[in-house]
Amino acid sequence: MRPKISVIGSGRVGTSAALHIGLRELGDVVLVDIVQGLPQGEALDLNHMAAILGLDVEYTGTNDYRDIEGSEVVVVTAGFIRKADMTRMDLLTKNSAIIRDVSLKIKEHAPKSKVIVVTNPLDVMTYVALKTTGFERERVMGFSGLLDIGRYKTLIAKELGVSWNSIEAPILGEHGDSMVLLPRHTSVGGRPLTSLLTGDRIEAILKETREMGAKIISLKGWSAHHAPGAGAALMVDAIVRDRNAVIPVSFYHMGEYGFEGVCSVVPAVIGRTGVKKVIELELNPEEREALIRSVEKVRQAQQEVDRLLASGAS
Ligand SMILES: NC(=O)c1ccc[n+]([C@@H]2O[C@H](COP(=O)([O-])OP(=O)(O)OC[C@H]3O[C@@H](n4cnc5c(N)ncnc54)[C@H](O)[C@@H]3O)[C@@H](O)[C@H]2O)c1
């Protein structure tokens, strides 16, 4: 029997993830949304794609969470993107309510699944999913690191005239402006980036990476979805095929990098059981300082969400 993979939210990122899961033939895909007809229509379209390409996968669209029963992996993309007229707090309030609702459904109907959260603000939504499902932390992880690293690699590749396949780069901290990219640990053909580019050029690349999400929204009018969908599918691949791949994921810390009780991005070994191991990098005082600032930002947002959920506001 093929694995069952459910994707909650059949919008841009959800359908892109579903498409890439199919292209990799990782399993049968159940698309879920609250909008009547949307997941059913997307599933028809994707099945026709599978037929054209001769892929051994089947898509189902539904508004009924009972259909996610038996899922090995659930990818959560339900929720709003931040629009120009929305404050950070609006997004936090709206999406934490959605993620709480979706997580309760996952807990009820797919209690053995591994959960990949994609909805923003990413680290805090990963925290809400973990707390609401009550799953072991190894089974709940947030997608974002592959996206930020993908953006970073394209800029380095262009600057140095090398393939992005030759670049290794880790990332830590929040998925947001305070993300911690590590040029000292970034290598091109085995050489650290810091020995290949000047400090000014590296700073420019870091800035451009951080601003890439906003740049895409300003250019095309909505947020990235091709790269996030492909990246989320790669995480599903690592789980379903038990690859033990090192992937940056947002993960609930219990002592890793010196933090407790907060979700933030770390490089981790991902396989059948979810997060198998966190890889701890040696950081210099400047890098550690940046990481502390970044993680504390997430912790503050988590506290806001805790207050919201306790007051029943969401
Ligand atoms: N982590 C990342 O790197 C990353 C990258 C891109 C986008 N995102 C985030 O992913 C989320 C989705 O983005 P998108 O572009 O696909 O948005 P979208 O508006 O295209 O799709 C969101 C879908 O979620 C559905 N939805 C809302 N509430 C639901 C519920 N309770 N149950 C099921 N479905 C529900 C909506 O009907 C809609 O179809 C946003 O929060 C966005 O910011 C994260």
pLDDT per residue as tens digits for the range 54-65:
999 999 999 999
Contact 126 CB / ligand 1 (< 6 Å): no
Q: How far is CA 282 from CA 1, 106, 185, 248, in A?
A: 43, 37, 9, 16
Nearest-CA residue for atom 24 of ligand 1: 78
Pocket test for ligand 1, best of 118, 146, 235, 263 (most atoms within 8 A of CB): 118
Nearest-CA residue for atom 43 of ligand 1: 81
Beta strands 260-271 and 274-278 are antiparallel
pLDDT digits (tens, 9 = 90+) for 103-129: 999 999 999 999 999 999 999 999 999
Residue 99 Cα to ligand 1 midpoint, Å, equals 10
Band (pLDDT 50/70/90 cuts) for residue 269 is very high
Q: Which residues are catalytic?
A: 175
Helix (H, G, I), strand (E, B) or coil at 75: strand
Residue 221 Cα to ligand 1 midpoint, Å, equals 15
Contact 116 CB / ligand 1 (< 6 Å): no
Ligand 1 atom at minimal distance to the Cα of residue 35:
37
Contact 119 CB / ligand 1 (< 6 Å): yes
Q: Per-residue pLDDT for 314 more than 50?
A: no
Question: How many whole angstroms separate alpha carbon 298 and alpha carbon 121?
Answer: 9
Pocket test for ligand 1, best of 81, 128, 265 (most atoms within 8 A of CB): 81
pLDDT at 313: 57
Residue 146 Cα to ligand 1 midpoint, Å, equals 18
Residue 187 in contact with residue 149, Cβ under 8 Å?
Answer: no
pLDDT at 85: 79
pLDDT at 89: 84
Q: Which residues contact 169 (CB under 8 A, 6 or more apart)?
A: 149, 152, 153, 156, 181, 182, 185, 186, 187, 193
Nearest-CA residue for atom 35 of ligand 1: 78
Q: Per-residue pLDDT for 20 more than 90?
A: yes
Residue 118 Cα to ligand 1 midpoint, Å, equals 8
**Which tokens belong to 49?**
């794609």
Nearest-CA residue for atom 33 of ligand 1: 33
pLDDT digits (tens, 9 = 90+) for 180-222: 999 999 999 999 999 999 999 999 999 999 999 999 998 998 8
Question: How many whole angstroms separate alpha carbon 285 and alpha carbon 273?
Answer: 34
Nearest-CA residue for atom 19 of ligand 1: 11
In whole numbers, what is the pLDDT of the chain averaged over residues? 96
pLDDT digits (tens, 9 = 90+) for 126-170: 999 999 999 999 999 999 999 999 999 999 999 999 999 999 999
Question: How many whole angstroms separate alpha carbon 72 and alpha carbon 113?
Answer: 5
**Which tokens belong to 280?**
């701890």
Residue 10 Cα to ligand 1 midpoint, Å, equals 8
